[in-house]
Structure 1
Amino acid sequence: MTVSSKEGETSRGGPSQSTKISDKKDNDAIYRVYSALSFFFMLIVVGFPLWWKTTEVHRESLPYTEISSLNDLKLSFHVNAIVSTLDKSRGEDFIRELKKLFRTSEIYNINFTWVDADRALLGSMKSITDLELSSMSRLRPGEIKLLEIPGLSRFCPDQILVGQRRSIYFSTDASPLRMHDVLHKWLLQEETLVQTMKSLSSQTGERDYTSRYRLPPAEGYNLLVTAVNPDPESLNTSHWDLPQAISDYITPFLDKLSTVANFSLRSQWIYLTPLEIRPCRAPEGGFVLDAESLPQLITPLEKKLASHVSNNPCIQLLVYVPLCSESPLRLQPSDPSVSKYSGLPGYTMGFHSPRWGGLVLQNPTADACTGPQPVLVNPDWPSLAAIWLQQLRSLIGIPEHAPIARASIMPEPQAAVRLWEVDALMRIRALEQLLSARLTLQSLSALLEEISNIVIGKDVAEAVEAGVEGLHTSVEHLASGNLARGLSSARNAFLQAEAAFTDPSLLSLLYFPDDQKYAVYIPLFLPVMIPVVMSLRKMKTWISVLRTEKLKVE
């Protein structure tokens, strides 16, 4: 009984020692659970998103949809052609036939309008010069005037005469078909434009002859004129005024092309650079270099030209003074029918290389070579400049015009370029820059969509948007007949697209892909994550124990 009473007293007293220990263990378990939850919350809910956001690559939004839809832009050139005749019915019939002939044009939209010819002015003309001065009505770049001249045979034997400006003169018996050929092949150069469009659009199309020689589109071009004297002790060229010759002959030509591109002129002298190949003796006398040896002539000169003065393409124009032991030196082109500026059939005094430049020979005279030393070499600047200008025409993209029966072109002006040739070059340049800008933007868009960790900064995004806007603006201007603004917008689109594609910020994380990022950060996060994951396992066990006890109580 006594024992029973003591046991009862014990059961009615305070909590036993085992109960206190159990409660303490429960409290420690709860603290551990809360601690694990707090670590999980800070690491997974707060830390991981914060790390992900701070290590995220900054990418401005780009107009991907607009860039992908650039292929749907229909490029066309609107041309205003004014037909002026004495008889209105003949003029309307002439226009009707021309419209039929140009109906199948792939790239041109020509608007023919008729105006009455000035009879008094036509009757007062006495020469071709008066003919040109009479047509000095203000025509915008790209516009054409077709003027009927009764008795055109007084000035030329052909039915159609193309002037130096933007006018075409035709006789009363000129046919619309021949006029279509003149417009199509000479002034509008539609085949060159279509071929350029196909080659640039597919990147696999065959370029025509003019495109292979023409310099690529760029912001500007550097023109470097170099005089080469292989032996200054025996060849006296100290009296040459090379800068003045450039100013007299080349600067007026480039001024006419200021609307097409920006040109910077430089000149230099190179000494002690003889030919590394020995010319052969020609049957007619003197020495000759054949076409196969011309690349060997350029190679030693190219090393000393120092032409890399900017990022713009450089046009090389060289004049080489052969030694008396190699004079007179001539060049034999691959086509034996060529005989330019030499006076001898099958020979030439200069040649040009596609997208590089040209070279001209200035031989010392025989009397100078037999006289006292040093030999005085007098430059024939008009002849040298004539060859240089022909080379520049080919390099810039002004083709040699194929002959058309009963049609002719007035001789080149002193600046060696006609206004309608400048207009044709403006169309070609606008087309090249538009297609190049479109291709660049689409390539950049595909690259940025494929590689997600390339930084897209604000400058890149603004350049891309400006390029897309410039493309649309240029197409609108060209379709409305505003050639000057269309070319300006196309140039801006081209420059903006190139600036975006070559921006240095695009390369900042290009060679740090996601797998490398994970390889760097996993060793940092894994030691921290293991205890957290293990604690989650203990927390799971504790929760399961609580559920079991709850079920027992119930």
Structure 2
Amino acid sequence: MATPDAPPTPATHPSADDVPIDKSTPDAEPPPELPENARARRYVILSFWLVVVLLGLPLWWKTTSIYRAPLPLRDMQSWADGRACRAEFPLLVEVEAPELSDPEHLIKSAQHALDDANDFSAHHLRLRLASPKLTDSTGNNAEENVAATLKLLPGPARSSHSYQLSNVSREIELFYSPSYNPSSSASSASLSLFVANTLQEIFAEEQQMISHLLSTSTPAPSSASGDSTSGSSKVNHAEIARKMSRILRYSPTYHLTFSLFTGSGTPTSWEIEDAIDEYLQPLLGALSGISNFTIDSQIQFYASPSDNVVPEWQPDGEPAEGEPQRGKWVLKKQDLSSFINSAEWPLASITSYPTINFIIYVPADELTPLSISGSATNAFLLPQWGGVKILNLPVEKIDGERKTHLTREDLKSSLDTFAGQLMSLLGAPAHPSSLPIRLDSLTRQRSAELLTSASSTLGSLYRLTLALPSISIPTSVSTAVSSTLESLQNACQELKQGRVGGEGGALAEGRNAAAQAERAFFEKSMVGQVYFPEEHKVAVYLPLMGPVGVPLVMSAVKELANFIKGWKASRVAKA
């Protein structure tokens, strides 16, 4: 009997796990790259590099290159080192001697005495016999700036040599003794020496100030050869430095603020405009050739000094029976520096000019009278800031009330004090008494200050240019430097010729030189780059260059390795 067919048995295949692996067989390599693909890859890489080298780099260089306008560095260094200008301050003194038979001999002898006594040749006096057709009634010269006019006149009987200086002109009247004999060498030498000593005394403070400016300014123009480079040996540098510390830096314009601060509610008004016009405006007009002035005023009630200031009561002695104790409140010198109550007194100025503050302080009834110890004017000066005058109004009542209005006459003493303080803050010498001579001295001092300031600024710009080669120098800086050098040269020439004030004088040229030098040094586009260190460039360029540069460099390196490998293989095949 037939049996049914059994289902077919499925064929079995060995699995991958069942197949033994022959580890001696090498790994299968990818199919070789077609030459066309390799060539295309090289062209792609080369095209990227060509775009980077021929277009990217020139464009980057052009857009990021720093423009540096050419600067006359050698001239700038010469002025900074003091080699470009030999600053001189010749002072011409004209001599009038109508009563002398041979004034030329006396002038020569006096000139020799002046030259022998002068150890600062940058500032020297030059005597010249006056010509009637060149002088006017004020003693000024129509063709050349005259520092002073010396009139030699016979003195009264039995008198010695003496002189008198006018307060309102440049005229010096020198009275020689009636015993003067021109034929006697001893008598002539005595008068010559007196003339020399008189002129030196009048211009001594000016010479010391200029000598200090030229010797201590760093850098400063060379004053003269030899002994003049170190200044006068007679200069009291400590005293001059003290005077210089209170002088305001030169500015073409100053702003004057006159403030009335009262310890109570009175006075409520003051005639400050009329007082300024009458007592101070003449001085401001005389100073207009040096600097201009703007003016404002204010009143502050119930203004008390700083809390650190505590006046002391000083009685006048034992009072009589039945009478109140009389005395005064006294401020000590150590209290003056903290007298200004900056926290409560509105003294801030909104002008762009340097501000000079003049304060009239009227103390309250309970602190009246208030005086400053050791002060004859009851006022004090704050260096480079201004002045304060304490004005004590009568305690007695007028019609049952305290005086509420200050007239021009009430303000006269205060404005006279402020006029002297203003001259001190601007740097005018305290002597001589002649205002025109003091103003001339101030003009020469300011000219020397501007000359040294502009030279110093040029030196700073020169060193900055060399220290930061990556800083840009716009054309405006080059133009300003050229203008500075031209004005410095003109100022130096004007000083040598004795023309200091007026249009085109040494002061005007020095003012322009200082302004142009500061404009060049503080150029906006340069100031920002001074504080941009080189390390910041890495932080800027690395995030931009990294993602682009790394793939380009790595592909180029890999392609070069493949090329070297193929070249070596071809050499082996040929061998």
What TM-score range do you get, normalising by the shorter chain? Answer: 0.7 to 0.9
Cα separation, 2, equivalents of 1:63 and 1:425: 32
Cα separation, 1, equivalents of 2:344 and 2:523: 30
Return the letter of the residue paired with 1:218: S
Answering whether residue 267 of structure 2 is matched by residue 236 of structure 1, we say yes
Partner of 1:35: 44
Cα separation, 1, equivalents of 2:414 and 2:218: 39
Compute the displacement of 1:194 (Å).
0.5
Q: Measured at CA, do residues 49 and 134 of structure 1 come closer, stay the same or move farther in structure 2, by a change above 3 Å?
A: closer
Moved more, 537-546 or 28-37: 537-546
Q: Deviations over 1:32-90 (max 9, x none)?
A: 33333332222134312321331233332222221111021221123333222244633
Compute the displacement of 1:517 (Å).
1.2
Compute the displacement of 1:102 (Å).
2.6
CA contact (8 A) 2:161 2:191 kept: no
Cα separation, 2, equivalents of 1:161 and 1:80: 19
Cα separation, 1, equivalents of 2:39 and 2:66: 41
Answering whether residue 282 of structure 2 is matched by residue 260 of structure 1, we say no
CA contact (8 A) 1:142 1:483 kept: no
Partner of 1:150: 154
1:297 aligned counterpart, secondary structure: coil
Q: Measured at CA, do residues 142 and 32 of structure 1 come closer, stay the same or move farther in structure 2, by a change above 3 Å?
A: farther
Compute the displacement of 1:377 (Å).
5.7
Equivalent runs, 1:309-320 vs 2, <5 Å: 309-320=350-361
Partner of 1:288: 330
Q: For structure 2, list consecutive stretches of 5 or more residues without a partner in the other structure.
A: 1-30, 178-189, 221-236, 317-326
1:340 alignment partner, one of 371, 376, 385: 376
Equivalent runs, 1:56-455 vs 2, <5 Å: 56-70=65-79, 71-72=82-83, 73-86=85-98, 87=100, 89-102=102-115, 104-115=119-130, 133=137, 135=139, 138=142, 140-141=144-145, 143-151=147-155, 153=156, 159-163=162-166, 164-173=168-177, 175-187=191-203, 189-201=206-218, 207-232=240-265, 235-238=266-269, 240-275=270-305, 276=307, 277-284=309-316, 285-298=327-340, 300=341, 303-333=344-374, 339-341=375-377, 349-368=378-397, 372-376=400-404, 378-379=406-407, 380-401=410-431, 418-455=435-472
Compute the displacement of 1:490 (Å).
0.3
2:127 aligned counterpart, secondary structure: strand
Compute the displacement of 1:450 (Å).
1.2
Give the aligned length.
488
Moved more, 430-439 or 536-545: 536-545
Return the letter of the residue paired with 1:106: S
Answering whether residue 526 of structure 2 is matched by residue 495 of structure 1, we say no
Return the letter of the residue paired with 1:372: G
1:83 aligned counterpart, secondary structure: strand
Moved more, 357-366 or 58-67: 58-67
1:513 aligned counterpart, secondary structure: coil
Compute the displacement of 1:464 (Å).
2.4
Partner of 1:518: 538
Cα separation, 1, equivalents of 2:314 and 2:174: 47
Q: Deviations over 1:487-510 (max 9, x none)?
A: 100011111122223333223333
Give the structure with the higher percent helix.
Answer: 1
Cα separation, 1, equivalents of 2:48 and 2:386: 72
CA contact (8 A) 2:481 2:520 kept: yes
Partner of 1:505: 525
Equivalent runs, 1:453-472 vs 2, <5 Å: 453-472=470-489
CA contact (8 A) 1:352 1:359 kept: yes
Q: Deviations over 1:362-393 (max 9, x none)?
A: 21114338x61344464522222221112112
Q: Cα RMSD between the aligned structures?
A: 3.1
Q: Measured at CA, do residues 37 and 550 of structure 1 come closer, stay the same or move farther in structure 2, by a change above 3 Å?
A: farther
Cα separation, 2, equivalents of 1:57 and 1:219: 35
Cα separation, 2, equivalents of 1:68 and 1:439: 10
Cα separation, 2, equivalents of 1:474 and 1:430: 8
Moved more, 426-435 or 285-294: 285-294
Return the letter of the residue paired with 2:394: T
Return the letter of the residue paired with 2:169: R
CA contact (8 A) 1:364 1:377 kept: no
2:53 alignment partner, one of 25, 37, 44: 44
TM-score normalised by length of structure 1: 0.79
Moved more, 382-391 or 82-91: 82-91
Larger Rg computed on CA atoms: 2
Return the letter of the residue paired with 1:102: D
Compute the displacement of 1:483 (Å).
1.0
Cα separation, 2, equivalents of 1:83 and 1:515: 69
Q: Deviations over 1:392-418 (max 9, x none)?
A: 1211112323xxxxxxx6x66xxxxx1
Q: For structure 1, list consecutive stretches of 5 or more residues without a partner in the other structure.
A: 1-20, 122-131, 334-338, 342-348, 402-408, 413-417
TM-score normalised by length of structure 2: 0.77
Q: Deviations over 1:333-361 (max 9, x none)?
A: 4xxxxx524xxxxxxx1111111111112
Partner of 1:535: 555
